Structure 1
Amino acid sequence: MGVARSQGTMGSFALIQGMCGGTRPATNVRHVIFDLDGTLFDTAPDIAAALRRAIGDSSCDAVVEKAVRQGLPLDEMIRVVLGPFISDGERHRITADFRRYYDVSDYAGTRPYPGIPELLTRLKDSGRDLHIATNKRERPTLRILQHKGMRDLFSQIVCVDSAGMKRTKKQLLEQILSTAHTVPSEAVFVGDSTADVVAGRELGIRTVGVLYGYGERQAMQAAGPDAICEQVEELLAGVLFAG
């Protein structure tokens, strides 16, 4: 199903209904899979704090904040901040220091987007299984969920390094489907990046792109998710009526 483009003054909820087939519920959705950063949580403040500390140069603070808000992988963030010609040795040092600081954080600056806890509870109470597929490493992911009291909401939490090696988002989704003994048509994947949409579409999973996190409208529309949600409040309609 192609993405409907917003035209004129069409409200965002009307846009969601148009993309999702009006009020036709996707009754076969049994599994809702979420990305983490920029979808469930605004993690940027704590990531930026750890990266600033690892770099150790206050003149880079503004660039760090911008790079983090773009939702880039750590390697790319470091190159954006310090330039493409940074030595491998310095990049590895900053990466190690970042992980050392970030992995023991109390994540005080990391917060679920307003309405997310209520959304997850409502979906779970409806009988759907909730899962996470994230390019974040397992240690900080589990610590964040534990700190925020949300660990038990999810049946599976699959991280980029959960299998002991780096994997693609598509591979993470494949693991979730396999472990849940389900098929793509019974799942919806919610994420804030075009990579999330592409991974879901490649597997035949319905996708919902969100714009309240780190995603950009033009790129998200071009990626072609089944629905686009501007606000958390629209996610329930986007998840239940996608496809």
Structure 2
Amino acid sequence: MTKLMIFDLDGTLLDTIRDLAEATNHVLAAHGYPTHSTEAYHYFVGNGVRTLISRSLPEQARTPERIEQFKEEQVAYYHEHMYDHTRPFPGMQQVLAALQGRGIKLAVVSNKVDEAVQQMIRDFFPEIRFEHICGQRDGIPHKPDPTMVNLVIAEAGVSKAEVLYFGDSDVDMQTAHNAGVKGIGVLWGYRTKEELQSAGAYAVLDKVEDLLDQPEK
């Protein structure tokens, strides 16, 4: 029986893509680089902000110094605008409340900067008690490294057989595999069913309400 459900944030709990795209495009435009459609950012996100910046830049412009500079500018702009368009996916708050009511422990593991993850969870899900919220921090490798997931599982005091990990990307499915837990792909995020299945998803969910069926499997 499932006792702990761990969720990715962007593309899983929250629809953040437009704000991420606009923040990155703002920095690119300010330095004279081409910008991208919101849809293009579906494949830029998922591996942390440095990788997001690298993917958004022309290949010849991807120097470590430029990526670090643009990352700092993007994070600063995003912090001021991260609520412009971001919202929980429809039905998510009610579904999480129902899962919590069943006594299932809930947690978040994200490659987004930890400060933003903590703030967004507080603001968008104030009535949900998450056992652990873990974003990208110095000294802790980001997904698909399993360190963050393993820390959450250890703190929750459950076995890996009692854990499900939910995410919308191949990175999430790889993370689950690396941690030795079942990875469940979600299709309301930013990637395709084929990608999730190819990355080893144990199952793929079509809609938010399907989360309510998983704990009994």
- TM-score per shorter chain, which class? 0.7 to 0.9
Aligned with 2:52 (options 77, 84, 106) = 77
Change in 2 beyond 3 A, CA 1:77/1:94: same
Partner of 1:56: 29
Q: Identity across aligned pairs (percent)?
A: 25
Aligned residues: 211
Deviations 1:181-229 (A, max 9, x none): 2210111111111221222123331221111101221111112222111
Which moved further from structure 2: 117-126 or 81-90? 81-90
Aligned counterparts of 2:25 and 2:82: Cα–Cα separation in 1: 17
State the one-letter code of the partner of 1:100: A
Aligned with 1:99 (options 71, 75, 78) = 75
State the one-letter code of the partner of 2:142: T
Aligned counterparts of 1:56 and 1:190: Cα–Cα separation in 2: 34
Aligned counterparts of 1:224 and 1:130: Cα–Cα separation in 2: 22
Partner of 1:37: 10
Q: Which 4+ residue blocks in structure 1 deviate beyond 6 angstroms? A: none
TM-score, normalised with respect to structure 2: 0.88
Considering only CA atoms, is the larger Rg found in Structure 1 or Structure 2? 1
Residues 64 and 77 of structure 1 are in contact (CA less than 8 Å); yes or no, is this contact kept in structure 2?
no
TM-score, normalised with respect to structure 1: 0.79
Aligned counterparts of 1:225 and 1:149: Cα–Cα separation in 2: 26
* Matched ranges for 1:36-185 at <5 A: 36-56=9-29, 60-61=34-35, 63-70=36-43, 71-73=45-47, 74-86=49-61, 87-105=63-81, 107-150=83-126, 152-161=128-137, 164-169=138-143, 170-185=146-161
Aligned with 1:211 (options 179, 187, 212) = 187
Aligned counterparts of 2:96 and 2:119: Cα–Cα separation in 1: 18
Residues 46 and 169 of structure 2 are in contact (CA less than 8 Å); yes or no, is this contact kept in structure 1?
no
Q: Secondary structure at the match of 1:56?
A: helix
Unaligned runs of 5+ in 1: 1-27
